[in-house]
Structure 1
Amino acid sequence: MHSLIDDFTGNLFQDPVGPCISLYQPTHRSHPDNGQDPIRFGNLVKKAEASWKERYPDKDPAPLLANLRKLGEERNFWNHTLDGLAVLVSPDMFRVYRLQRAVPELVNVGDSFHIKPLLRMVQSADRYQVLAINRHSAKMFVGNRDALDPFEAGDDFPDTLEAVLGDDPLRQRPASWSRGAAATIAGVNDGQIERSKLVDADTEQFFRAVDRAVAEQFSRPARLPLMLAALPEHQAMFRKLSHNAYLLPQGIDTHPDAISLDELRERAWRVMEPKYLERLAGLVDMYHAARARWLANDDIAQVARSAVSARVSTLLVEADRQVNGRMDLQSGAVDFAAEGGIGEDLLDDIAEKVIANGGQVVVVPKGRMPSETGLAAIYRF
């Protein structure tokens, strides 16, 4: 399965070779609800074919449609879906993303991908990560207010104590034993070796390895808040040695295997929700303060030009809002589509430009947006 975070970080969706097909649909995690998901997907593929023939009558969609139909027939894939699905296809790209949020059914065929639903997954202010750890194992989860799911770590992630320390026969000794005058293990004096000290040394070495891996593989690429789920004594030890700047001071004080995944999500969201609301309020305050200095705007046409010229540092985009039209990607000039007319999503195109020019995009619920146009931009200059 493709990594949405890696693809956004690598600007994979910038300047694609078109035409591009974007398909979105809600999916289900379990039987019997998921039985209808591949059927609905097949109907979306038919709609994509019809839209393609209308917009690009001189181009052949057969290779792209063949890949989509093949996906629709993969039974194992449809038995392991989450809450939503996004499939992006172009002449030189095929991407499939399982989503933690349900998305409305949508078919878009155009010169670029429709990625705003994905922006909400990647740029939404309510996303977080959880590290569940004990003396013997570590697991990573990614979540939002609605869902929490295991994060597939690479083979080089130190998910067990044995993966870090290997199989050391000395660690299988009784709690207290003597090896004689020559015995020296990790700074322990000759003679009696206390088992508890050896266990603590092992745990510290394991925690250090996990801390480095989490920072390198998860926190720095995603830049998401990280919560620690562990027993209080393990919380103290891990925090003392951790160098992860994204680790939150509040954690979940329990053995992670002692609670269900749903309870873990509930407890994580209780920690995250105040920070989420605080961040949204801070962004809105920044927008109003910048607007008072003529460094913010909510006019779509003006923001589009500013996005192209790299003026936009932060763009707030209203969730589930779409404004159809066309945008010149060189000048930023926009033409709004007539009501009900066909066109690209201008908010989508503007957001892509902001990201490409190093700005941040945050998808915001309608009730917390500081404007009514669908976007609000804070300028660098």
Structure 2
Amino acid sequence: MDTDALTAGLLQELRATRPYPALSLTMPTHRRAPDNAQDAVRLRNLVAEAGNRLEADPRVSRESRAAVKAQLDRAVAEVDQRRALDALVILADADEYQIWQLPRTAPERVVLSDTYLTRNLVAAKAGARPFWVLSLSAEHAALWSGTSEGLRKEGTGGFPLTAPHEEPNPQREERIGDTPSTYSSEDARNFLRTVDEKLRTVLATDPRPLFLVGLAPALALLDEVGESAGSAVARAAKGTTAETTAPELLKELNPALEDWRMQAAAGIRGRFDNALSSRSFAGGLDEVWLAVREGRAGLIAVEEHFEQTVRVTDGHLEPVGPDDTPDTDGQIREDIVDELVEAALDNGCEVSFVADDSLEGHGRIAAVLRF
């Protein structure tokens, strides 16, 4: 699966507590030859490491070990290197496995825990900044799922939609004296009401920024008959048809998309600047962890590859060395950053992943506090 399939509901399922061990394997991959030749070797080595970890862990029974290894083997057999992006994530427990191809690099890791490691999925989703595009005319409406990787036409939510075709009515034309305008007919209004209804359902299920592409009269009529267009981030007044392609839409939308991304980045920087000046700022793992546990964090920024093994003592976090592992001390958390991100999301906190070393002066993780 790719990040476009990672809905809020699915992410919550992946973060759910599972019988130990839930195995997470991550590694960087390559999209093209000859670099991708090394991916298969790297994957075999990580699978071997996972097997060794399972064998050495006294908390893993023989039955669980065999079941997890079997699921991992099935996942590896299913990995399609032709679809490789920038990272591979395999999640496996005794009952299932999942394969994720991500457009964002991830480090080599094997983690055994009672939850799956989801930070790479969250980071890829955040980095992709998914959005919706509605291409519209009086006769046709298509919904496109957009990420940093491009656009893909959606076949869900009732889309694409085509207006019912009616034969010309000479008697009607005689009564009104002329052929009705495309965008003044009741048929067009009814069609766009249906489009609005379907679009509102999609946005309620998977909220994302919305971009509209269509001729000005079509967009104006959508405004008039419905509610969904009011939330649009930007509009491109360009005619579309059922044959309009993703590259054609992107050409029209690129200026608006670039402006949207720049505004979003500036907005996050501004929020942290304001937090610093108003003393509503937390920096460092222990401070941010405490703010998340107390529900005070409204926005968290964390460096992409920041990871830390810690011991939890009296509600505080103490970094530990590589010789301390979860199986030797029940209070040790192998990836507290992932746990922190999950808790933040569960509390309705925004999470943003930023470039490595950009938060070096703040302990590589920081938060804007609600209070």
TM-score scaled by length of structure 2: 0.78
What residue number does 1:161 align with?
Answer: 162
Which of 346, 363, 368 is the equivalent residue of 1:373? 363
Preserved CA contact (<8 Å) 2:281 2:368: yes
SS at match of 2:233: coil
SS at match of 1:96: strand
TM-score scaled by length of structure 1: 0.76
Preserved CA contact (<8 Å) 2:68 2:95: no
Preserved CA contact (<8 Å) 2:29 2:88: yes
User: Over the residues paired in the alignment, what is the CA RMSD in angstroms?
Assistant: 3.8
What residue number does 1:182 align with?
Answer: none
After superposition, the Cα gap between the structure-2 partners of 1:194 and 1:20, relative to the gap in structure 1 and judged at 3 Å, is same
After superposition, the Cα gap between the structure-2 partners of 1:142 and 1:105, relative to the gap in structure 1 and judged at 3 Å, is farther
Residues 149-198 of structure 1, C-alpha deviation per residue, up to 9 Å, x if partnerless? 426443x5131216xx4xx6xx1x24x5227xxxxxxxx99677836458
What residue number does 1:67 align with?
Answer: 71
For residues 26 and 237 of structure 2, what CA distance do their matches in structure 1 show?
A: 34
For residues 211 and 35 of structure 1, what CA distance do their matches in structure 2 show?
A: 48
For residues 360 and 241 of structure 2, what CA distance do their matches in structure 1 show?
A: 39
For residues 27 and 268 of structure 1, what CA distance do their matches in structure 2 show?
A: 30
After superposition, the Cα gap between the structure-2 partners of 1:129 and 1:368, relative to the gap in structure 1 and judged at 3 Å, is farther
Preserved CA contact (<8 Å) 1:141 1:151: yes
Residues 307-327 of structure 1, C-alpha deviation per residue, up to 9 Å, x if partnerless? 122221221122232233355
Which of 88, 111, 119 is the equivalent residue of 2:91? 88
Preserved CA contact (<8 Å) 2:75 2:97: no
- Superposition deviation, residue 17 in structure 1: 3.0
Residues 40-95 of structure 1, C-alpha deviation per residue, up to 9 Å, x if partnerless? 545443332223333456433221222232233347x6655655443322345543
Given residue 304 of structure 1, which amino acid in structure 2 is its aligned partner? W
Preserved CA contact (<8 Å) 1:315 1:376: yes
Aligned-pair identity (%): 22
Preserved CA contact (<8 Å) 1:131 1:228: yes
- Superposition deviation, residue 13 in structure 1: 0.3
- How many residue pairs match? The answer is 358
- Check if 1:119 corresponds to 2:112: no
For residues 240 and 117 of structure 1, what CA distance do their matches in structure 2 show?
A: 42
Given residue 320 of structure 2, which amino acid in structure 1 is its aligned partner? A
Question: Which runs of no fewer than 5 residues in structure 2 stay unpaired?
Answer: 326-332
Where do residues 48-63 of structure 1 align in structure 2 (5 Å cutoff)?
Answer: 48-56=50-58, 58-59=60-61, 60-63=64-67
Given residue 23 of structure 1, which amino acid in structure 2 is its aligned partner? L
For residues 26 and 355 of structure 1, what CA distance do their matches in structure 2 show?
A: 25
After superposition, the Cα gap between the structure-2 partners of 1:202 and 1:277, relative to the gap in structure 1 and judged at 3 Å, is same
After superposition, the Cα gap between the structure-2 partners of 1:157 and 1:29, relative to the gap in structure 1 and judged at 3 Å, is farther
Residues 231-279 of structure 1, C-alpha deviation per residue, up to 9 Å, x if partnerless? 4443343344442254113336353777653464465443123332322
After superposition, the Cα gap between the structure-2 partners of 1:73 and 1:240, relative to the gap in structure 1 and judged at 3 Å, is same
- Superposition deviation, residue 223 in structure 1: 3.1
What residue number does 1:271 align with?
Answer: 256
What residue number does 1:338 align with?
Answer: 321
